């Protein structure tokens, strides 16, 4: 027995030793150096202090050295993310993950993002290339000195990252444009619905959103909140700026917190991995945040196209499209050739009977690309801020601003096409005239407001364009639900406001739309009624419900299931054969408008429709969560499941790399906008002038390395709705790394 126990103990010790060795080899060796001295390609010494969250506070003697260090720490913490960003944009995922990445690669190649990035690089003036080049040198300094220690993902997939380039940084920016302005596929859905359905009803589902027309929200699209409060309403007597940008969950998250200090710059906030500078944050004079504007910056054109010859109709003549050939490398398979046709409007992105759809997109215009954020980072006042923002090419954004002099303001920005007419349909045969762009709307004429009398500015992706705006407006604007709730909460607060109040509002989960829909169901029940006790129980819960989309309550699930069935019924009424694909951004507000107006040519009996959708929704909920709606929980349907892109798929151990599934409160129409795949990607609340009273956190953590303590050290605070001090003037450094010039 003793011998058996000895053998067993030896085996256990061996397994533990092997496991510890593997953990060290794959995870610990890849962790960045955070203290000591390293020779690097800087002109003068650079210090990188890291606080308790692992946030790098970079202090340099020149801007070039500061950006070099930013690239260095970015690669050290998130080289895998940097590499996958550029691969996703360029269409190079299949090279490392095989056929599972092929469809994504085909989409990216058709959008020509790498060719566009190369064209942009060729036109960038030297002064705009220089910051990208300094950043790239920093990334490459880390790559060149850490061979074999790039991280778990590189080791498992068996490849090394190639050197970083300025084009890669531009690609990263284009990928963000694609994310924020990627709803062109909904136009294909609309075109197909128009071809077989009732055109006027389809147009109602896809309204041309101009002026202050009802402009709907979205169940799954990115969205954001930002507001500025004047000192008249704050405890400090200075403005407060709040910002939470809603984007897809990922591990690591989309944003990286950084602090850059060099002559002429002292800025902190969040940065987009792969690009230099800070995207949203503050310096020692101003603070700013962003939300997606949603203005339509692309059009689809139906071209009568012959794929054998490449010819298509343009006006009264036949012309030939330009052909490009791409080779997609596929791990484990022979490469695949992708043929891209480019018409005068842009690349062909879809084939339909009788022709193709060509995409015209502002991102394909190299002349409008300017990385203006370093100029914003250094701005000292409103004039310098606006001078920088005026050059911003896109995607269209709402910029919220405040400064130490007490000013608050808002300005829409981006290159927004001028359309002389825009009925919202896909032009046929490359139609000219009003469908062709006539340049871009002048920056000075875009919506703006400065120091409003009420002292409050709120943007939550709603339509900011006034009814008398001199240009045609179209876009995927959000409904009023989030912006109205933010404004109501700001105005309802009796005491002076602080950054903590901004955080409180950011996590609010009241849905005006779901509450409205629930009351519509109750009213229909009261007028029609039925004997079904299960439905009666659901109705009584809705009658008492306060509209809070709380993860522990059943009413949010009931109203959501009713909405989904109602949306399907409405779309099928407009286009029976193709309406099933309808899931547009405007769907919730369109449904509200329809229920308020109740036009007779849509449905004969709206109460019967609502009760049928209630019955279908309860039946679906029964299949999912049981027969008694009182036992349902919203969080069992609405949850965050954030998976590591590589390790998260490995059997037995994957769950340790992932976060969730975690039940989530909130919905598409709540201030805390959430779905299964997206939510607030950061929460920032800046106390202008009292900088160290500010708050900031991201979703998971600073590091992309599983072995790092900063892999998920912010998740618990994010999930519970708490935050962390945004260290700026007083930095509590936990470690200091110095980059020294290389000895000659």
pLDDT of residue 3 exceeding 80, the answer is no
Dump pLDDT digits (tens) for 107-161: 999 999 999 999 999 999 999 999 999 999 999 999 999 999 999 999 999 999 9
Structure tokens at 122: 């060729």
Of these ranges, 345-354, 529-538, 588-597, 715-724, the one predicted with the greatest mean pLDDT is 715-724
Higher pLDDT, 498 or 353: 498
pLDDT of residue 553: 97
Higher pLDDT: 214 or 508? It is 508
> Would you call 179 helix, strand, or coil by DSSP?
helix
Q: What is the dihedral of CA 95, 98, 103, 105, to 10 degrees?
A: -10
Fold (topology level) of 196-210+509-670: 1.10.1400
pLDDT at 212 over 90: no
In angstroms, the CA 232 to CA 633 distance is 42
Tokens read off for 162: 């190639």
pLDDT bracket for residue 460 (50, 70, 90): very high
Q: Which residues pair with 459 in a beta bridge?
A: 226
In the block, residue with structure tokens 């995409």: 359
671 token code pair: 């201030």
- Residue matched to tokens 């309802």: 492
Closest to 639 measured CA to CA, from 579, 549, 519: 549
**Higher-pLDDT residue of 395, 715:** 715
SS (H, E, C) 469-522: CCCCCCECCECCHHHHHHHHHHHHCCCCECHHHHHHHHCCCECHHHHHHHHHHH
Q: What is the pLDDT of residue 599?
A: 95
Q: What is the DSSP letter of 444?
A: G
Helix (H, G, I), strand (E, B) or coil at 56: strand
**Homologous superfamily of 36-182+299-364:** Penicillin Amidohydrolase, domain 1 (1.10.439.10)
Look at residue 7 and tell me whether its pLDDT is greater than 90.
Answer: no
- Alpha carbons 685 and 701: distance in angstroms, whole number: 18
Confidence of residue 648 (pLDDT cuts 50, 70, 90): confident
309 token code pair: 């010859």
| pLDDT for residue 166 | 98
Instruction: Report how far Cα 370 is from the mean position of its chain's Cα atoms.
Output: 20
Is the pLDDT score of 211 beyond 50? no
Range in 196-200, 238-242, 283-287 with the lowest mean pLDDT:
196-200
Q: Indicate where the chain has its CATH 1.10.1400 domain(s).
A: 196-210+509-670
Beta-carbon neighbour count of residue 444 at 10 Å?
Answer: 9
| Host H or E run for residue 363 | none
Measured torsion, CA atoms of residues 664, 668, 674, 678, in degrees rounded to the nearest 10: 140
Distance of CA 662 to the CA centre of its chain: 20
The beta strand positions in 293-447, using DSSP E, are 298-303, 305-306, 311-314, 317-320, 322-328, 336-342, 348-352, 355-361, 397-403, 408-413, 417-419, 437-440
> Average pLDDT for residues 673-696, to the nearest whole number?
96
Encoded tokens for 302: 């139906």
| In the block, residue with structure tokens 């349907």 | 637
Of 256-265, 358-367, 576-585, 731-740, which gets the smallest average pLDDT?
Answer: 576-585
Please report the pLDDT score of residue 220 as a whole number. 30
**Residues whose CB is less than 8 angstroms from the CB of residue 524 and which lie 6 or more positions away in sequence, other chains included:** 606, 607, 608, 610, 611, 614
User: How far is Cα 91 from Cα 702, in angstroms, rounded to an integer?
Assistant: 26
Q: What is the pLDDT of residue 77?
A: 97
Kindly state the DSSP code that residue 25 receives in the 8-state scheme. I
**pLDDT-based confidence at 350, cuts 50/70/90?**
confident
- For the chain, give every residue range classified as CATH 1.10.439.10: 36-182+299-364
Report pLDDT for 208: 61
Residue ranges of the alpha helices (H) in 307-453?
A: 373-378, 382-389
Higher local confidence (pLDDT), 58 or 191: 58
Q: How many CB atoms lie within 10 A of CB 144?
A: 10
286-312: per-residue pLDDT in tens? Answer: 999 999 998 989 888 888 888 888 888
Shortest CA distance to 111 belongs to which of 166, 167, 185?
Answer: 185
| pTM of the predicted protein model | 0.92
83 against 532, higher pLDDT:
83
**Residues forming a β-bridge with 270:** 257, 280
Angle between helices 63-90 and 113-123 (to 10 degrees): 150
Token pair recorded at residue 315:
């006006």
pLDDT over threshold 90, residue 422: no
Pick from 89-93, 249-253, 310-314, 551-555: least confident: 310-314
Other CB atoms within a 10 A radius of the CB of residue 507 amount to 18
DSSP class per residue in 214-239: -----SSS-EEEEEEE-GGGBSSSS-
Torsion, Cα 36 38 44 47, to 10 degrees, reads -40
Give the C-alpha separation, 553 to 631, whole Å: 8
Length of the chain: 744
Phi, psi of 142 (to 5 degrees): -70, -45
Q: How does residue 8 score in pLDDT terms, banded at 50, 70 and 90? A: low
Cα–Cα distances in Å, from 131 out to 69, 169, 222? 12, 11, 29
pLDDT > 60? residue 18: no
Helix axes 512-528, 533-544, angle to 10 degrees: 130
pLDDT at 694 over 80: yes
């Amino acid at each position: 027995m003793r011998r058996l126990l000895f053998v067993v103990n030896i085996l256990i010790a061996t397994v533990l030793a092997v496991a510890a060795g593997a953990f060290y080899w794959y995870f610990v060796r890849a962790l960045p150096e955070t203290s000591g001295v390293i020779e690097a390609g800087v002109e003068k010494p650079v210090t990188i202090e890291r606080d308790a969250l692992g946030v790098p506070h970079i202090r340099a003697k020149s801007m070039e050295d500061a950006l070099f260090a930013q690239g260095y720490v970015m690669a050290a913490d998130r080289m895998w993310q940097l590499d996958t960003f550029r691969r996703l944009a360029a269409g190079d995922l299949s090279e490392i993950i095989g056929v599972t990445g092929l469809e994504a690669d085909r989409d990216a190649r058709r959008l020509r993002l790498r060719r566009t990035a190369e064209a942009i690089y060729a036109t960038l003036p030297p002064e705009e290339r220089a910051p990208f080049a300094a950043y790239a040198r920093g990334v490459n300094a880390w790559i060149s000195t850490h061979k074999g220690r790039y991280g778990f993902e590189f080791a498992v997939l068996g490849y090394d990252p190639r050197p970083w380039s300025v084009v890669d940084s531009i690609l990263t920016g284009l990928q963000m444009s694609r994310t924020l302005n990627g709803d062109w596929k909904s136009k294909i859905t609309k075109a197909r619905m128009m071809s077989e359905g009732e055109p006027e009803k389809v147009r109602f589902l896809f309204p041309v959103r101009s002026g202050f027309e009802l402009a709907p929200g979205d169940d799954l699209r990115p969205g954001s909140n930002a507001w500025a409060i004047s000192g008249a309403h704050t405890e400090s007597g200075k403005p407060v700026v709040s910002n939470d940008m809603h984007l897809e969950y990922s591990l690591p998250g989309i944003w990286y917190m950084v602090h850059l200090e060099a002559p002429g710059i002292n800025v902190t906030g969040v940065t987009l991995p792969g690009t230099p500078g800070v995207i949203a944050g503050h310096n020692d004079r101003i603070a700013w945040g962003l939300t997606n504007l949603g203005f339509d910056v692309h059009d689809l054109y139906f071209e009568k196209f012959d794929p054998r010859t490449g010819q298509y109709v343009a006006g009264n003549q036949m012309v030939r499209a330009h052909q490009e050939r791409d080779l997609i490398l596929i791990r484990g398979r022979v490469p695949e050739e992708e043929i891209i046709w480019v018409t005068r409007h842009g690349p062909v992105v879809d084939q339909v009977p009788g022709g193709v759809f060509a995409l015209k997109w502002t991102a394909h215009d190299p002349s409008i690309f300017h990385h203006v954020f370093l100029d914003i980072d250094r701005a000292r006042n409103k004039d310098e801020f606006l001078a920088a923002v005026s050059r911003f090419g896109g995607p269209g954004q709402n910029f919220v601003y405040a400064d130490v002099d007490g000013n608050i303001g808002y300005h829409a920005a981006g290159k927004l096409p001028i359309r002389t007419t825009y009925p919202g349909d896909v032009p046929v045969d490359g139609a000219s005239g009003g469908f062709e762009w006539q340049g871009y709307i002048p920056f000075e004429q875009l919506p703006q407001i400065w120091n409003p009398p009420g002292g409050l500015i709120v943007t939550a992706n709603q339509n900011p364009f006034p009814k008398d705006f001199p240009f045609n407006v179209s876009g995927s604007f959000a409904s009023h639900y989030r912006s109205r709730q933010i404004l109501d909460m700001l105005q309802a607060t009796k005491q002076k406001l602080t950054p903590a109040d901004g955080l409180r509002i950011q996590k609010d989960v009241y849905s005006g739309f779901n509450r409205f829909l629930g009351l519509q169901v109750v009213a229909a029940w009261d007028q029609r009624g039925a004997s079904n006790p299960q439905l009666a129980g659901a109705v009584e819960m809705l009658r008492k419900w306060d509209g809070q989309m709380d993860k522990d309550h059943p009413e949010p699930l009931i109203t959501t299931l009713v909405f989904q069935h109602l949306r399907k019924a409405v779309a099928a009424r407009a286009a029976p054969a193709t309406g099933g694909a309808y899931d547009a951004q405007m769907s919730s507000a369109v449904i509200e408008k329809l229920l308020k107006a109740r036009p007779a040519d849509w449905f004969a009996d709206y109460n019967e429709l609502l009760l049928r959708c209630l019955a279908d929704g309860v039946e679906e909920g029964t299949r999912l969560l049981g027969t008694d709606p009182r036992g349902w929980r919203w969080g069992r349907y609405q949850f965050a499941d954030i998976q590591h892109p590589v390790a998260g798929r490995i059997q037995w151990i994957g769950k340790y790399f992932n976060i969730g599934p975690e039940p989530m409160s909130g919905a598409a129409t709540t201030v805390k906008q959430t779905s299964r795949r997206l939510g607030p990607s950061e929460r920032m609340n800046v106390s202008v002038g009292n900088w160290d009273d500010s708050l900031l956190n991201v979703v998971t953590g600073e590091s992309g390395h599983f072995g790092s303590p900063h892999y998920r050290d912010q998740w618990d605070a994010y999930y519970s709705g708490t935050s962390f001090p945004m260290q700026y003037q007083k930095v509590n450094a936990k470690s200091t790394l110095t980059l020294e010039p290389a000895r000659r």
